[in-house]
Structure 1
Amino acid sequence: MKVIRAKHAGVCYGVERALDMAQAAMMDDETTYTLGPLIHNPKVVEKLSAHGVQVANDVDDIDSGIVVIRSHGVEPSVLDCLNAKGLTVIDATCPHVAKAQRAAAELRDLGGTVLVIGRAEHPEVRGLCGHAGNAAVVVAGVEEIPAELSEPVGIVVQTTESKEKLGAVVEALRSRGIEPVVKNTVCFATRQRQDSAAMLAEEVDAIVVIGGKNSSNTTHLFEICKAHCPRSFFVESVDELDAAWFDGCETVGVTAGASTPEDQIDEVVDYLETL
């Protein structure tokens, strides 16, 4: 069976940067915390924990030490609380997310409504809403756009969303006579991975998507692959693979989310090449 890896797959710059910053922080004598999981990859978070990097779920859980802000960013009020407690703060917010946060603040200052396209429960979206203030309205898609909107209407996007979803929301507003102020904050690396996965899924008999089940960008990758290849499988590690999934396959593709390091991809590829 031939194993083909997607042209663009795995850890992106923002995740690699966050990992480097956390690893540098843990060399200090002070206890190092991340406010929530640094990235959405349980295996990586476990490795950091084994080296003493603790996950705190709330600012109140930290009284001293170093706090690394997760790659998804946080609300401005959270940073204010950390600084007020006199903690050492290392901001590992992905630069693309930071750009989206600035865009949300700019749209807030225009007045009206700021539509935040994304998943309401996602930490990046909570951070964007914090920068957009009371003007923020989160929508997962066209069907969630409110009937009443205060104009002007601005749009900012969770960086791991798709440009297709952004386009659909824009068109839905235009059909209502609303011309939105659009900040296209979809990450280029995310788009590369989505396009590459779609192309590969069209060409293979089966495809494996590797990444945390709690990862938004990896979930989107799986959804894209499933639309193009019915035999698409979403796993966090090589241990979840079942040889029976690939019975009769001549080709299998491999792709991975932006929080999936190289060693996790290599383990899956190595296993598949034994079949």
Structure 2
Amino acid sequence: MKVVRAAYAGACYGVQRALDLALKAVEDGGAAYTLGPLIHNPQVVRQLEERGVRAVDGADDVRDGDTVIIRSHGVTPEVKRMAQARNLPLVDATCPHVARAQKAAAQLAEQGRHVVVVGEAGHPEVEGLVAYAREAGAPVSVAAGPDDLPDALEGPVGVVVQTTQTSEALDAVVAALEERGVEPLVKNTVCFATRQRQEAAAALADEVDAIVVIGGRNSSNTTRLADICAAACPRTHHVETPGEIDPAWFEGCDTVGVTAGASTPEEQIDAVTSLLEGL
């Protein structure tokens, strides 16, 4: 069975940057705390904890003098202020693309627009985008798709998008607004690395008999990759570790594809690939 890796797969710049910053914060044996998991990869989060980087719910759970790390998904302005008010050493590991989206949400709000955030309600990145827009004084709506748009939108509208969403999701929401006669100001903040991985996964899924998507089940970008692959290749399997793989999945397969979410480090991809090559 031939194993083919997607042209673009695995940890993106923002994730690798966050990991590097977190490990640097504890390289002298100190303790550091991330406000929520640093990235959406349970195995990596456990490894970080073994190195002294622990995930907590909020700044109140951090001891005085210990370092606070803002995770790659970012936090709300209020959470950042709470950490600063306690004079806690602060390491901002917010992905630069997420920071750009936060700035865009605030700018749209400052222009007096109703801000529509295209993304998953409750996702930490989306919660941050909503908070940045609301702090700037705007009404905010979250829409994963056209059906989530409110019946009425007062005044001019601005649109910003969760960085790991698909461009198709953004286009669908914008098209629905335009059908209502609304001409929104759109800030397309979909991350280029996310788009690369989605396009590469879709292309690979068309060429193989089965495909394995590697990454945390709590990772929205990995789950989205699995959905994209499943649309083209019914034998799509989302796993976090090699131990989850069942050889029976690949009976009759000549080729199997491998892709991975932006929160998946290289060693996890290598472990799954090695197992598949040995089947």
- Picking from 207, 211, 232, the partner of 1:207 is 211
Measured in 1, the distance between the counterparts of 2:61 and 2:270 equals: 37
Q: For 1:33, what is the secondary structure of its paired residue?
A: strand
Shift of 1:121: 1.2
Mapped contact 2:30–2:52 kept (Cα < 8 A): no
Measured in 2, the distance between the counterparts of 1:169 and 1:257 equals: 24
**2:190 equivalent to 1:186:** yes
Mapped contact 2:211–2:258 kept (Cα < 8 A): yes
* Aligned equivalent of 1:137: 141
* Aligned equivalent of 2:244: 240
> Normalising by structure 2, what TM-score?
0.97
- Picking from 226, 230, 241, the partner of 1:226 is 230
Measured in 2, the distance between the counterparts of 1:189 and 1:248 equals: 33
> Normalising by structure 1, what TM-score?
0.99
**After superposition, where does 1:1-275 map in structure 2 within 5 Å?**
1-64=1-64, 65-133=66-134, 134-275=138-279
5+ residue gaps, structure 2: none
Shift of 1:5: 0.2
The AA in structure 2 aligned to 1:74 is V
Measured in 1, the distance between the counterparts of 2:130 and 2:26 equals: 30
5+ residue gaps, structure 1: none
Shift of 1:50: 0.6
Q: For 2:9, what is the secondary structure of its paired residue?
A: coil
Q: For 1:127, what is the secondary structure of its paired residue?
A: helix
Mapped contact 2:145–2:169 kept (Cα < 8 A): yes
The AA in structure 1 aligned to 2:118 is I
Shift of 1:29: 4.8
Provide the aligned length of Structure 1 versus Structure 2. 275
The AA in structure 1 aligned to 2:151 is A
Aligned alpha-carbon RMSD (Å): 0.8
Counting aligned pairs with the same residue, the percent is 60
Mapped contact 2:167–2:190 kept (Cα < 8 A): yes
Q: Deviations over 1:47-106 (max 9, x none)?
A: 000111111112211132000100000111111110001101100000000000000000
Shift of 1:33: 0.5
Q: For 1:34, what is the secondary structure of its paired residue?
A: strand
Shift of 1:112: 3.1
Measured in 2, the distance between the counterparts of 1:127 and 1:119 equals: 12
Mapped contact 1:63–1:85 kept (Cα < 8 A): no
